[in-house]
Amino acid sequence: MSAIENTISRAGFRLRFLGRTKATAIGGRGVTFKDAPAPVPQPERNLSLGPSAPLKTEILTAPGGALGDIEDALRRNVAVLSDGTFYIHSAVISDPQARSLTDRARRLGINLKEPEPVELSVIRELYGTAATKRIDNAEGIKARFVAMIEEAVAFRTSDIQVKLNEEQGSAEVRFQIDGFLSGVVEEFHHDELEALITTAFYYGDNGDATPNPSKNQKVTVNKRHKLPPGVFSLRLHFAKLASGRHLNIRVIYEKLAVSGQGLSALGLPREIERTLLYVQTLGKGLLTIGAPTEHGKSTTLTVWLGDLLDSRGGKLTVASVDDPPEGLDPRIIYFPVSDGGGDEVDSFTEALKASLRIAPHVVRVGECREGPPARMAFDAANTGKLVSTTIHCAGVLNIPSRYEELGVPTLLAYSAERHACWYSQRLVPKLCPGCRRLLSEAAKKDARLDVLRERFEGALGQAAGDLYARGPGCDNCLKRSAKIGIAGIKGRQLIGETLIPDQRICDLLRNRQHEDARRTWLVDTGGRSMALVGYPYLLRGDIGVQEWVSYVASAEDLKCDLALAAQTGPRP
Ligand SMILES: [Zn+2]
C-alpha cells in the first residue's frame, strides 16, 4: 500500500517538478513559443502583447501559465492565448467549466474574446508541437497521450502499440482491433519520444517506480479519473528492443464485448456450450482453457464463472487469483497478484494461498505461466474445489504436456482424475459478406490464393472452389475509418473444442502417441475437434481460406479430421 502511494507521490512530484522548472526558465508567465511554428495564432495578433513580451504569444492555460492551475481534463479542451484568443474544442463549446475561464481571466485583468470552436487537433498542436519542440513540454505530450487513448477506446482497441522506428526517427502508433493491427494512427517525432515514454510511465499509478530504458517494465493505470469511461484499467508494458523501445498499452474494459446474458452470449457451438454447462455441475477438478494469446480465453472464463454464479443465485464463493480481468464481476473475490516486485511467482503463490483460506467453492487462477501456480492449481483441484485456469497452448490434446513442461509432475499432469475438462478456442476473423470473393475466381489473379485453392482442392476435392477468400474492402467493412477498419473483415467467430479426458487418452498422450489419442477422441468418443466445429463456417463462407489456415488448421489436418469423423458409427 505504501509502495503504491510512494509511486504516486514520486510520479506527482516528478511532473510538478518538470512543470515548475519549465515555467521558471521562461520567466514564470507560461509557455512561449517564439521560435516554434505557430499554426493557429496569426502574426498580427502577436502585436497586441504587452511590453514585457514583445512579439511573443503565450498560452495562458499552459502548465505554470498566467491563468493558474488548470486540470488536465479541462486543458485538453481549451487554449487561451495572451492576445485574448480563446479556443474551445467544438464538442464542448458550451461546457460551463471551459467558458468560466473568461471570468477567471477577467479577474486577472485579461479580457478574452468570444470562445472560438476548434478541432481537438488545433489545441493539441498548440500544446503539443509548439511546447514540445520549444521546451520539451511533458503536458503537451500528455494531452496527446490521453487523446490517443480516448480514440483507441472509441474503436474498442485491445492494445495500443507504440513502436520506435529508428530509420524514420519516429514512433508509430497502431491500434490492435479484433486481432488485427491498424495502419499508423499517430506519429511522434523522435525528439518527442522520450517525453512520451516518460509521460506514459508516470501516467501509471502502480508498478515500477522509475523508468529504466535498459529494463522491461510494467505499470498499470487504475485511477478512475485518468481513464476514459468504460475502461477499467490500462496495463503498460515497456519492452527493451535491440534498438530503442516498444510500448504496449493493453486496454482492460469494464464490460466484456459480448452482448446478452450467460454463457449463450458467447455464441459458442451448441455441443461446446453444453459441455461447459456440465462442468459447472462438477464439485472438483481442473477446467483448463488452452489457447494462444488474443483468443479471448480470459473472456470465456469470466463469462463461464458469471454464468455459474447466476445458476446458483450467487450462493457460491468464487475466488480469483489474477490481475482483475476485463468485465470484472463484483460477486467474485479478487486476490491480486502484485506487479513489479520482480518476484511474481512468490506473489502468485501468496495470493493463491490466501484465496484458499476463505474456503472458496470455485477458484479462478490466472494464466499458468510458471511452475508453482500450475502445481498449486493441481493441488487445489484435488481438495474438493473446482479450479479454472487458462494456459497458453494450441489445442486440447496439448494441455497435459504443457502442464508437464511447467513442472507439474508427469503422474499428476496425465491423471484424468485431476482434470474436469480441457477446452480450447479461437476467435477467427469473419469475412465481410459485402466484398468476399469466390476462391475459384480470386485464385485466377492471385498466386497465393491459387496455392491455397490447390491445397484445399487436395483436401476437399472440387468443393474447394466454392470456398471464399477475403475481399478488397467495401463500405460494409471499412465505413468506420479507412485507417482503422480491416479490408474484407467484419467481426469474429468463436470456435472451440472440448474434451473430458479419460485415463485412456491421458495414457496415450503420456506415451506421445498423439495420433492414437486423436483417433480415440474423434472416433471412439465422437469428439469434435476445432476443425470439425469450424468446418460449417468455412463452407458457408463465414470464414475464408486465408483465415482458416492462419487460425484453425491446415487443409491437410482438416482432411484427416473429416476422415476420422466419418468413421464414427452410430453411437449406442
Ligand atoms: Zn467488405
Is the residue at 55 inside a domain? yes
Claim to verify: residue 129 and residue 142 sit in the same structural domain: no
At residue 15, does pLDDT exceed 70?
A: no
Q: How far is the centre of ligand 1, averaged over its atoms, from the C-alpha of 437 (Å)?
A: 10
Average pLDDT over residues 251-269: 84
Closest CA to 408 of 380, 373, 381: 373
At residue 481, does pLDDT exceed 60?
A: no
Q: How far is the centre of ligand 1, averaged over its atoms, from the C-alpha of 490 (Å)?
A: 7
Q: How far is the centre of ligand 1, averaged over its atoms, from the C-alpha of 299 (Å)?
A: 27
Claim to verify: residue 121 and residue 146 sit in the same structural domain: no
**Contact (Cβ atoms closer than 8 angstroms) between residue 442 and residue 554:** no
* pLDDT tens-digit readout, 274-297: 999 999 999 889 999 998 888 888
From 192, 220, 253, the end of a domain falls on: 253
CATH of the domain at 234: 3.30.450.90
Claim to verify: residue 350 and residue 393 sit in the same structural domain: yes
Is the residue at 123 inside a domain? yes
Instruction: Return the HEC string of 317-379.
Output: CEEEECCCCCCCCCCCEEECCCCCCCCHHHHHHHHHHHHHCCCCCEEEECCCCCHHHHHHHHH
Q: How far is the centre of ligand 1, averaged over its atoms, from the C-alpha of 466 (Å)?
A: 18
Residue type, 421: C
Q: How far is the centre of ligand 1, averaged over its atoms, from the C-alpha of 253 (Å)?
A: 27
What is the β-pairing status of strands 437-438 and 419-431?
A: unpaired
Using left for φ > 0, alpha for ψ between -120 and 50, and beta otherwise, residue 541 falls in left
Q: How far is the centre of ligand 1, averaged over its atoms, from the C-alpha of 181 (Å)?
A: 17
In the structure grid, which three cell numbers stand for residue 21, read together? 522548472
Q: How far is the centre of ligand 1, averaged over its atoms, from the C-alpha of 442 (Å)?
A: 15
Is the residue at 342 inside a domain? yes
Q: How far is the centre of ligand 1, averaged over its atoms, from the C-alpha of 247 (Å)?
A: 31
What's the pLDDT at 21?
30
From 253, 271, 302, the end of a domain falls on: 253
In the structure grid, which three cell numbers stand for residue 176, read together? 490492435
Going across the sheet that includes 180-189, the strands are 180-189, 170-177, 159-165, 245-253, 231-240, 217-221, 206-207
Total count of residues recorded for the chain:
572
Claim to verify: residue 366 and residue 240 sit in the same structural domain: no
Q: How far is the centre of ligand 1, averaged over its atoms, from the C-alpha of 540 (Å)?
A: 16
**Contact (Cβ atoms closer than 8 angstroms) between residue 99 and residue 88:** yes
Is the residue at 462 inside a domain? no
Q: How far is the centre of ligand 1, averaged over its atoms, from the C-alpha of 473 (Å)?
A: 4
Claim to verify: residue 284 and residue 395 sit in the same structural domain: yes
Claim to verify: residue 63 and residue 153 sit in the same structural domain: no
Q: How far is the centre of ligand 1, averaged over its atoms, from the C-alpha of 477 (Å)?
A: 4
Q: How far is the centre of ligand 1, averaged over its atoms, from the C-alpha of 482 (Å)?
A: 11
Q: How far is the centre of ligand 1, averaged over its atoms, from the C-alpha of 431 (Å)?
A: 8
* pLDDT tens-digit readout, 300-356: 998 999 999 999 888 899 999 987 777 888 899 998 876 555 555 677 888 888 998
- Provide the residue range defining the domain that includes 410: 263-436+471-528
Torsion of CA 492, 228, 304, 274, to 10 degrees: -30
Kind and range of the H or E run holding 10: helix 2-25
Claim to verify: residue 53 and residue 102 sit in the same structural domain: yes
> To 10 degrees, what angle do helices 138-154 and 2-25 make?
120
Q: How far is the centre of ligand 1, averaged over its atoms, from the C-alpha of 469 (Å)?
A: 11
* pLDDT tens-digit readout, 362-374: 999 988 877 777 8
Q: How far is the centre of ligand 1, averaged over its atoms, from the C-alpha of 192 (Å)?
A: 37
Claim to verify: residue 475 and residue 488 sit in the same structural domain: yes
From 76, 99, 133, the end of a domain falls on: 133
Is the residue at 450 inside a domain? no
- Band the pLDDT of 457: cuts 50, 70, 90: very high
Q: How far is the centre of ligand 1, averaged over its atoms, from the C-alpha of 471 (Å)?
A: 6
Whether the full predicted model's pTM is greater than 0.75, yes or no, is: no
Q: How far is the centre of ligand 1, averaged over its atoms, from the C-alpha of 485 (Å)?
A: 10
Torsion of CA 408, 410, 412, 413, to 10 degrees: 70
Q: How far is the centre of ligand 1, averaged over its atoms, from the C-alpha of 567 (Å)?
A: 39
Claim to verify: residue 341 and residue 427 sit in the same structural domain: yes
3 state SS of 545? helix
- The residues that bridge with 219 in the sheet, in sequence order, are 207, 236
- The residues that bridge with 423 in the sheet, in sequence order, are 289, 498
Please enumerate in sequence order all residues whose Cβ is within 8 A of that of 194, keeping only pairs 6 or more positions apart, or say none: none
Is the residue at 541 inside a domain? no
* pLDDT tens-digit readout, 197-218: 888 888 888 877 777 777 888 8
| Higher per-residue pLDDT: 44 or 535 | 535
| Tally of domains in the chain | 3
Torsion sign over Cα 510, 515, 519, 521: positive
Claim to verify: residue 415 and residue 490 sit in the same structural domain: yes
Q: How far is the centre of ligand 1, averaged over its atoms, from the C-alpha of 543 (Å)?
A: 13
Q: How far is the centre of ligand 1, averaged over its atoms, from the C-alpha of 484 (Å)?
A: 13
Claim to verify: residue 269 and residue 390 sit in the same structural domain: yes
Q: How far is CA 366 from CA 87, 391, 550, in A?
A: 47, 9, 26
Q: How far is the centre of ligand 1, averaged over its atoms, from the C-alpha of 486 (Å)?
A: 9
Claim to verify: residue 230 and residue 296 sit in the same structural domain: no
What's the pLDDT at 39?
38
Q: How far is CA 112 from CA 85, 96, 98, 344, 397, in A?
A: 6, 15, 13, 54, 70
Is the residue at 301 inside a domain? yes
Q: How far is the centre of ligand 1, averaged over its atoms, from the C-alpha of 429 (Å)?
A: 13
Q: How far is the centre of ligand 1, averaged over its atoms, from the C-alpha of 481 (Å)?
A: 13
Q: How far is the centre of ligand 1, averaged over its atoms, from the C-alpha of 41 (Å)?
A: 43
Is the residue at 535 inside a domain? no
Neighbouring C-beta atoms of residue 409, cutoff 10 Å: 12
